[in-house]
Chain A
Amino acid sequence: MKGLRNSLLGALLGIMTASSLAASGLAGRSAPDFALKSASGENLRLSEYRGNVVMINFWATWCGPCRQEMPLLDDLYNRYQRVGFSLLGVNIDDDSRRAMRMIEELGVSFPVLFDADKEVSKLYQVEAMPVTVLLDREGTVRHVHHGYKPGYEEQYLTEIRSLLRE
């Protein structure tokens, strides 16, 4: 009975992973490198995070679900940062000042980068808001999630933990 339950859970997890991978042509490929200016004024380059499990979250100030999701992502970041997890929030607003205000309002602590020219968003085929991309320690895209619904954070948690264990 227990074995059957485990295999069903495994199959379900497999289907979920396959559907999240199928959602993007990027999955399974090496994540395109980029460098962007961050809210702290530093330039951050993705390739410098190689060796960490990296989550890239594309968001905008006009996106309601992003506002809902960001504090939950911040919790994940604070919990797993010390064991090799990095989170980069990529804001796509034309005016970065609005993004700065929202960061302050929400009190998130993960690095936020500005992609006002939308070059990085194009690289990652961002067609919805938010889009969350998870990379393994080798820099390969492993999971892509389009949009956000309450409960997605549980899936992120499972995926992050599994990638950290690899």
Chain B
Amino acid sequence: MVTKIRLTGIAAVAVIWCASIMMAFAEDTTPLNTDVIMAGAASADDDAAQSRSRFRALDEDVQSLKKDVLDLNRDLFLLEEELLFPANSQVAFFISMDVGEYFALDSVNLKIDGKDVTNYLYTDREAGALIRGGVHRVHMENLRVGEHELIAVFTGKGPHSRDYRRGATMSFNKGIGAKYVELEITDRMQKQQPEFVIKEWE
């Protein structure tokens, strides 16, 4: 009986001792597990930051490449223009419009030295842009040095929405260097009629 009680006591002590060891172990290991999780989270953050910075670098590369392409495109355009229209023989013709109350532009036909060079149809959007102050380069031509004649025929709707067709003629002297000619449509308030003027840019 005494032996039985002693054995039970020993077993109880052993259980308590085991439990205390396990608790102590648990206290020791808990901070260790947190450290592992925190270290894992930190490495995930590092990875995300790295991939973000890599992505940003890639995005910057793409943007810079896009800019290079645009620059190249512009250079090619300018080069093509210089080759096709050398500055010395180049004559550019521009259309501008002031107010446009007495004339709704439909088309412009240009003849240089008796030869048709362009017939440009204006959409409502283009005519609107001219009225808002836009200037349209309607034609470019290579001309030899000397006297030339320009005939411009404007068609559209005149006062009271009537069909309207008017011509304007100008002789100009093409010297050395580029020349710019402006065909201006203005409103003549006194006569309530449109006016078509051709002038050279100095």
Q: Write out the residue numbers on chain A whose beta carbons fall within 8 Å of the beta carbon of B124.
A: 42-43
**Does B122 lie at the interface of the complex (its beta carbon under 8 Å from any beta carbon of A)?**
yes
**Does A44 lie at the interface of the complex (its beta carbon under 8 Å from any beta carbon of B)?**
yes
Distance in Å: Cβ of B154 to nearest Cβ of chain A: 14
Q: Write out the residue numbers on chain B whose beta carbons fall within 8 Å of the beta carbon of A43.
A: 106-107, 121-124
Taking CB as reference atom, which chain A residue is nearest B122? A43
**Chain B interface, >50% SS class:** mixed
Distance in Å: Cβ of B134 to nearest Cβ of chain A: 15
Distance in Å: Cβ of A143 to nearest Cβ of chain B: 26
Q: Mark B134-163, 1 if CB is under 8 A from A, else 0.
A: 000000000000000000000000000000
Q: Write out the residue numbers on chain B whose beta carbons fall within 8 Å of the beta carbon of A35.
A: 120-123
Q: Mark A37-71, 1 if CB is under 8 A from B, else 0.
A: 10000111100100000000000000000000000
Q: Write out the residue numbers on chain B whose beta carbons fall within 8 Å of the beta carbon of A44.
A: 123
**Does B4 lie at the interface of the complex (its beta carbon under 8 Å from any beta carbon of A)?**
no
Q: Write out the residue numbers on chain B whose beta carbons fall within 8 Å of the beta carbon of A36.
A: 121
Q: Mark A134-145, 1 if CB is under 8 A from B, else 0.
A: 000000000000
Q: Write out the residue numbers on chain A whose beta carbons fall within 8 Å of the beta carbon of B121.
A: 35-37, 43, 45
Q: Write out the residue numbers on chain B whose beta carbons fall within 8 Å of the beta carbon of A42.
A: 123-124
Distance in Å: Cβ of B107 to nearest Cβ of chain A: 7
Instruction: Name the residue in A35, A43, A45 with the highest tally of chain B Cβ atoms < 10 Å from its Cβ.
Output: A43
Taking Cβ atoms with an 8 Å cutoff, the residues of B that contact A are 106-107, 120-126
Taking Cβ atoms with an 8 Å cutoff, the residues of A that contact B are 35-37, 42-45, 48
* Contacts A/B (CB < 8 Å), 20 sampled: A35-B120, A35-B121, A35-B122, A35-B123, A36-B121, A37-B121, A42-B123, A42-B124, A43-B106, A43-B107, A43-B121, A43-B122, A43-B123, A43-B124, A44-B123, A45-B121, A45-B123, A45-B126, A48-B123, A48-B125
Cβ-closest 4 pairs across A and B: A35-B121, A43-B121, A45-B123, A43-B123
